[in-house]
Amino acid sequence: MLIGIVSDTHRNKGLHTEVLNAFSEAGVDRVYHLGDDYADSELEIEYGFDVVRIPGLYCPEYKNREIEKVAYDTVQGIRMVMSHDLQDIPESDLRCHDIILHGHTHKMEIRVENGRIYMNPGHLKNTVDKGRAATYGMIDVDMGVINTKIFEVSGKAALEVSFKKEDTGLYKI
């Protein structure tokens, strides 16, 4: 299953549309929108994507108790938890999920800590924000192998790491 990941779109419909077109071309099955702005995720719905979305800190929906700040998904046995701000994810969820997704910092990242993947797709606020180029992510889950990638909006791969799920956690391959 191929998952597209965006965060910190901040009402930039131009960059957001470019990325959703890339997702369509790549055959993305589901999109995770990690907030700021929550309303921006309506664009994924218009494109017909299956969407998991959460609000960012600066969205009015973040204060709405009926809208969850943390979302969960399981794909082929790989357990994922996501939030705009990593601090919103309870410690117990950090310990029992394979992949932890977050945004907020506008800084792309893929790292392994205690056998878990931490991934931040970066931002789509502007072509450059806080000295960082606009980026987005994809995760391909296939029979226990997880390929994580972060791309610049141009489509150039900026970061790529592959993992294998073992009984004791995820390991780089």
Beta strands 78-83 and 70-75: pairing type?
antiparallel
What is the pLDDT, as a whole number, of residue 17? 98
Residue 99 region by backbone torsions, left for phi larger than 0, else alpha for psi between -120 and 50, else beta: beta
pLDDT tens for 12-67 read 999 999 999 999 999 999 999 999 999 999 999 999 999 999 999 999 999 999 99
**Per-residue tokens: 48:** 């017909």
HEC string of the chain?
CEEEEECCCCCCHHHHHHHHHHHHHHCCCEEEECCCCHHHHHHHHHHCCEEEECCCCCCHHHHCCCCCCEEEEEECCEEEEEECCHHHCCHHHHHHCCEEEECCCCCCEEEEECCEEEEECCCCCCCEECCEECEEEEEEEECCEEEEEEEECCCCEEEEEEEEEECCEEEEC
Cβ atoms of 41 and 84 closer than 8 Å:
no
60: CATH = 3.60.21.10
CA angle 67, 13, 128 (to 5 degrees): 105
pLDDT tens for 127-150 read 999 999 999 999 999 999 999 999
**Per-residue tokens: 1:** 């299953």
pLDDT tens for 150-161 read 999 999 999 999
| Number of domains comprising the chain | 1
- Domain coverage including residue 44: 2-172
Distance CA 154, CA 112 (A): 26
What is the pLDDT, as a whole number, of residue 132? 96
**Per-residue tokens: 135:** 């980026």
